[in-house]
Amino acid sequence: METLRTALQPLRPITNNLPTPIRDLGVSIIGDTCYKTLILDLNPTDSECLKLAISKGLGIGIIGASSIVKVPQIIKLLQSQSSSGISFLSYLLETSSYLISLAYNVRKGFPFSTYGETALILGQNVIITILVLNYSGRASIAALFVAALATSVVTLFNGGILDMQTLSYLQMGAGLLGVASKVPQIAAIYQEGGTGQLSAFTVFNYLAGSLSRIFTTLQEVDDKLILYGFVAGFALNLVLAAQMVYYWNAPSAKARGKMKEAVPVSATGSTGQSSGVSTATPKSKGPSTRRRG
């Protein structure tokens, strides 16, 4: 690391004369002390500041990726007009978990870089849930879902309605909901023998994001409830990713049904038509009634 520090020193005139907006942004992200150490002094030997910078970078990267993480899933649903392979229960549980976690993090005052993706994914989950209900012929339930969601938002974010102690208990439950939300999806894939309309980009992005969140939580958030939730979520995301790989080229249940319904065509074609030879039985002559004489 000392060699790296020496190699970076010629860049100090540049880092010490960065535009004010960039400097202010850097300070707001990693703080005055670590900004001076890592940017002004170009000293990567400070392990604490280095880990903080990595954590912040991962957090910002996760938030950026989460803004589009489920867009491919939404596009697949819109294009196929089918909810095959997607579990409504899974999205309902995950949306509930994310809403509680978002309220908990906001009211606790944790850094936005440690939970920002929760808000972005929550919005995308709502869209996907409504689409799944609509394409499965349950539009009335979709309206009920939106109404319940609005009521929950008002309740969870209002300290006058829900105190922090109760919200902490709900956060414990949210961790369990987050874990449980993966189980119906895993079961749906297993039962259908394929991933249907499930987006590979979404699954693998979730896997990478949950692993990164374990690191950022350890570095920036001293809250075991949140940490255990990310650890459990990573384990089940790993199962989903493994299923995605295993069933990568497997036909959907609908396609398999069509294959079973298809009747194999005989090599000789329809009976009595392809050969051009008549199969009619010639009429036999009956006994003659003519008198011989």
3-class DSSP string for 222-263: CCHHHHHHHHHHHHHHHHHHHHHHHCCCCCCHHHHHHHHHCC
Calpha distance 132→182 (Å, rounded): 16
Judge whether 66 and 117 are in contact, CB under 8 Å: yes
* Cut 0.95: pTM above it: no
Domain spans in the chain, listed from the N-terminal domain onward: 2-45, 69-252
In this predicted structure, what is the pLDDT of residue 262? 52
162-165: long-range contacts, CB 8 A cutoff, minimum separation 24: 164/107
By C-alpha distance, which of 65, 67, 72, 84 is closest to 119? 67
For residue 263, how many C-alpha atoms fall within 13 Å in the half-sphere facing its CB?
Answer: 4
* pLDDT at residue 208 greater than cutoff 50: yes
**Residue 74: is its pLDDT beyond 60?**
yes
Q: Which is nearest to 53 in space by CA: 36, 34, 40, 66?
A: 34
Structure confidence by residue, pLDDT tens digits, 221-268? 777 877 888 888 888 889 999 988 888 876 555 555 555 555 454 444
**Residues in CB range of 223: below 8 A, 6 or more apart:** 108, 110, 217
